[in-house]
Structure 1
């Protein structure tokens, strides 16, 4: 039977959307034993004992609370030796977003401290739907849609772990990725209810805040969504029994589901497990960032380009700078204090936001994505012709989504006025003459005022065979010259 990762690789090879090498080189494949089972010793990247990462998470504001919060000695003792910790991601979209990124960063902090991170993709639970934080039932998804979304999420997770590993020079415990459909597909509803289901008490299930809020709503809650907490709890039990996973990471809106898993594991094993609750990421205006609110900052470059991703962090207000540096980077806290202090001495330079944007973009999109974001920034805001010359047509088209592209032969002997008419900047010669002479037209970020200027002979075709034409402040046109 092919593993989930093997099936993922075959699908992507067929799609020709990813290079295979990074995945072949991935440190851990699904179903393989953890390095701890082979007796290897993992050196923490910061040289401290593995349980210190809890202190790190608290000090940085990444972990808002621990569930249950009544057993601090037990969790510190538990984390004093290598553990597995997991976070689940339901594939309700084909990409994760920066709210999910914070949970991945918790897994990365755990990995840096010598623990084994596990990402669980909810191929089964996505078909059920989590009622947490929802005022009505989620849209039903087809199995094919879920499968396609899983491929996107797995690419996101693999890329971030790979980037993190590439940018650090320490040995980290390998990460693991599972699809929870793999451990449900062999079960039937009768056997599931007669084994796992008998450990749940209806009163406790009804008391969950996610259930209560829906019971009190006009729409109510379906039996399907009501059972979601049972399946998430069962996921954790499976991971605990098969992969020594004692820690679950989730947003603070997942407290009810984490409590269900805690209760199930304790009833069956008489052991204690723990949840690490991370804050929800809000926009500067206080709204939750995510798919349901329509303001998600996606991790897939096709949905949010590296430039837009970079700009989101670059444009955060000063009031959130220190918090986001603590949450989304691995810069030591003492260094963050110095960065913020230096930034506040000249806030107009946005030096702190630049460091934040560079670090997060590099983690999510790698060196190539960061370089692209910086080139795009230099072109739009720095008026850098050298940066424009280094850009590919596809990169410019992504940057200027509404800019039409025209392909012309490089041998064309066009003056500026004729070029503008040919690419439909103006509808008539009179407008073209008037606006060019008034200084309203730019070639490759430089103002030109001569309608008869020979574009090719004047050197306005860049080495990348592109000319960027701008009319006014916002109307861009791309010209691709072919030989």
Structure 2
């Protein structure tokens, strides 16, 4: 199956500048293509992952992806998708983010992958103001720029000249990469369509209308209920394991709606059509087994975090399902209970009722005694039914914390000073 046909089957194409031409080109030869990410932060979230999954598919099909980290454009700010000006970062912060994202990309694609990392600071920083205006600015029509959605949406609230020039800078990126590496395709999110087509226009003006370059964007990802994909009650789901643990990451995918899971299998895994069709059938006939969600969680967690972290995330999931808290290591327990309510207590023997008050599990001693007497309280996985029980904080998890459960699902963490 041609890579464009595969992307269409996966519903992964929003717009292309010339679909038939691109399909013909990718059928005839291996091409170089690129996708960029600006270092506005030191980690990508799962929304950013979508175009880079596409880049990985191109690589597996024999093509050569280039990953552009926007060390220069990231210091300016992309106006797309925003109503107000970005807060400019210091160049030190930009460089920190560049280093972090570069490392993240290397982990995603692996050391043996046919992928090249580039930074547009390497060429954009060398262009003088006069050269920028004479060599590129003269070729860009203001009326055309104003008509682009990326700029038009900002006119009501105003846009600085700095952000207005972003489109030209990204166009220079495409032209530079086309000349230096014969890159013929740029991929981006739907909001990048104006920037991508501006780059193609610049190449055609400099090198001629017959120059063979293309653009492709991915669809906006929405959940079945119409809300934006990738957000949780706790915020974004990050690729950085320090921001979103592998266990939390795994759980995010495991808890997807039946109405969305097949779409996500197409987008975020490298399973074949036959494998996905089989899982789709199981969603319809045996939804209670959640086999599609389990496979989705395994595949994406393995791709982003690796086999070891996937194994750990599955172990935590199984231990919590069985209520076997003691089977967890300190590190695993920290992942499992990272986002539950917590309070700090002294490192000394404490009565169970006093512990429930100190850990803010219950608001009164009466309620605490009632919960214990009713068998609703578990300490580090063990049910406590005697209100005279004394807890030793140093007895579990290296004396770092106590895991408290009230009822079936309400967890709390008492952190030891």
Shifted more, 377-386 versus 82-91: the winner is 377-386
Contact 2:359/2:412 (8 A) holds in 1: no
State how far apart, in whole Å, the 2-side matches of 1:407 and 1:81 are.
Answer: 67
State how far apart, in whole Å, the 2-side matches of 1:228 and 1:98 are.
Answer: 24
- The 3-state SS of whatever aligns with 1:298 is coil
Q: Residues 241 and 112 of structure 1: is their aligned pair in 2 closer, same or farther, counting only changes over 3 Å?
A: same
Aligned partner of 1:228 in structure 2 is 166
Once superposed, what is the RMSD of the aligned Cα atoms? 3.1
Matched, 1:104 2:104: no
State how far apart, in whole Å, the 2-side matches of 1:289 and 1:181 are.
Answer: 31
Matched, 1:384 2:324: yes
Shifted more, 222-231 versus 306-315: the winner is 306-315
Unpaired runs of 5+ in structure 1? 1-47, 166-170
Contact 2:344/2:414 (8 A) holds in 1: yes
Matched, 1:449 2:385: yes
State the number of aligned residues.
411
Contact 1:99/1:280 (8 A) holds in 2: no
State how far apart, in whole Å, the 2-side matches of 1:366 and 1:407 are.
Answer: 37
State how far apart, in whole Å, the 1-side matches of 2:257 and 2:372 are.
Answer: 38
Aligned partner of 1:154 in structure 2 is 102
Aligned partner of 1:256 in structure 2 is 194
- Per the TM alignment, residue 386 of structure 1 is displaced from its structure 2 partner at its CA by 5.6
Matched, 1:179 2:119: yes
Shifted more, 367-376 versus 98-107: the winner is 367-376
Contact 1:397/1:403 (8 A) holds in 2: no
- The 3-state SS of whatever aligns with 1:470 is strand
- The 3-state SS of whatever aligns with 1:476 is strand
- Per the TM alignment, residue 258 of structure 1 is displaced from its structure 2 partner at its CA by 0.7
- Per the TM alignment, residue 272 of structure 1 is displaced from its structure 2 partner at its CA by 1.6
Counterpart pick for 1:191 among 123, 126, 131: 131
Aligned partner of 2:343 in structure 1 is 404
- The 3-state SS of whatever aligns with 1:398 is coil
State how far apart, in whole Å, the 2-side matches of 1:358 and 1:198 are.
Answer: 51
TM-score (norm 2): 0.87
Matched, 1:335 2:270: no
Aligned partner of 1:89 in structure 2 is 37
Aligned partner of 1:8 in structure 2 is none
- Per the TM alignment, residue 239 of structure 1 is displaced from its structure 2 partner at its CA by 0.8
Matched, 1:139 2:90: no
Q: Residues 257 and 418 of structure 1: is their aligned pair in 2 closer, same or farther, counting only changes over 3 Å?
A: closer
Contact 1:284/1:316 (8 A) holds in 2: no
State how far apart, in whole Å, the 2-side matches of 1:366 and 1:393 are.
Answer: 19
Matched, 1:468 2:403: yes
State how far apart, in whole Å, the 2-side matches of 1:343 and 1:65 are.
Answer: 30
Aligned partner of 2:241 in structure 1 is 301
Contact 2:71/2:121 (8 A) holds in 1: yes
Aligned partner of 2:28 in structure 1 is 80
Q: Residues 407 and 115 of structure 1: is their aligned pair in 2 closer, same or farther, counting only changes over 3 Å?
A: farther
- Per the TM alignment, residue 295 of structure 1 is displaced from its structure 2 partner at its CA by 4.6
- Per the TM alignment, residue 257 of structure 1 is displaced from its structure 2 partner at its CA by 0.7
Q: Could you report, residue by residue, the CA deviation over 1:343-362 in whole angstroms, capped at 9, with x for unpaired residues?
A: 32121222211111111111
1:278-289 map, 5 Å: 278-289=218-229
